[in-house]
Amino acid sequence: MKVTLITTVLAALVSTAAAEPTLVKRANPQGIDVSHYQGAVNFKTAKANGIAFAYIKATEGTTFIDPEFNTNYVAATNAGIIRGGYHFAHPDSSSGATQANYFLAHGGGWSADGITLPGALDIEYNPNGATCYGLSASAMVSWIKDFSNTYHSKTGVYPVIYTTTDWWKTCTGNSAAFGSTNPLWIARYASSIGTLPAGWSYTTFWQYANSGSNPGDQDLFNGSLDGLKRLATAA
């Protein structure tokens, strides 16, 4: 997500029509999300460039552990960046509970230490087949609930849900079942967030571009740095 000037992005955040959910300009800490595709990330440089938080890929399905996860997680910690892990879902391969437990066993855990974000469930377009993984809308909602409830039962917090509005409408029937429990991380590469999935009146994170001066995808937190730290303590 190539953005020439961050001021352009911030200006866009406060100029969107009132009919669309938008981020409010309140410092909006910048973040990145990375995986093995970026290799070993220099998080000290990212921190110097204004990055306050990072989501780092930990697992995918029940057969893949990101080979760079440990290196990047430790590096982000040492750089003083608030960080968390994310799991790329494959709802067609095993149950939500099975994948939540796999995620928890390989980097997706959480503790109220002020520097660990709740784990994130990356639920989106199938890269290798049917968009909705062959599941009906009701089956997809049940799968997500299974993952979410399992994660909550083990950590005391609900996972962040990363998705796009289009995928959510297509594959969950625009379910409103998660808006009161799970923080939303919306992906939309545009000057405004646009319409959100049902159930959420605002997004917690916005992935607004997939390239920039820092490695990985570019994200903004909807709030202040203090608010970001509260999320890392579940306060």
Active site residues: 33, 122, 124
Q: How many CA atoms lie within 13 A of 6 on its CB side?
A: 15
Helices assigned H by DSSP within 41-200: 43-48, 69-78, 96-105, 137-155, 165-172
Maximum C-alpha span of the chain: 45
**Residue 144 tokens, joined:** 């997500």
Which tokens in the block code for residue 47?
A: 């921190």
E strands, 12-105, where? Answer: 30-34, 51-60, 64-65, 82-88
- Dihedral pair phi/psi, residue 151, rounded to 5°: -60, -45
CA separation for the pair 129, 215 (Å, rounded): 28
Tell me 233's DSSP state: T
Q: Would strands 205-209 and 51-60 be described as parallel, antiparallel, or unpaired? A: unpaired
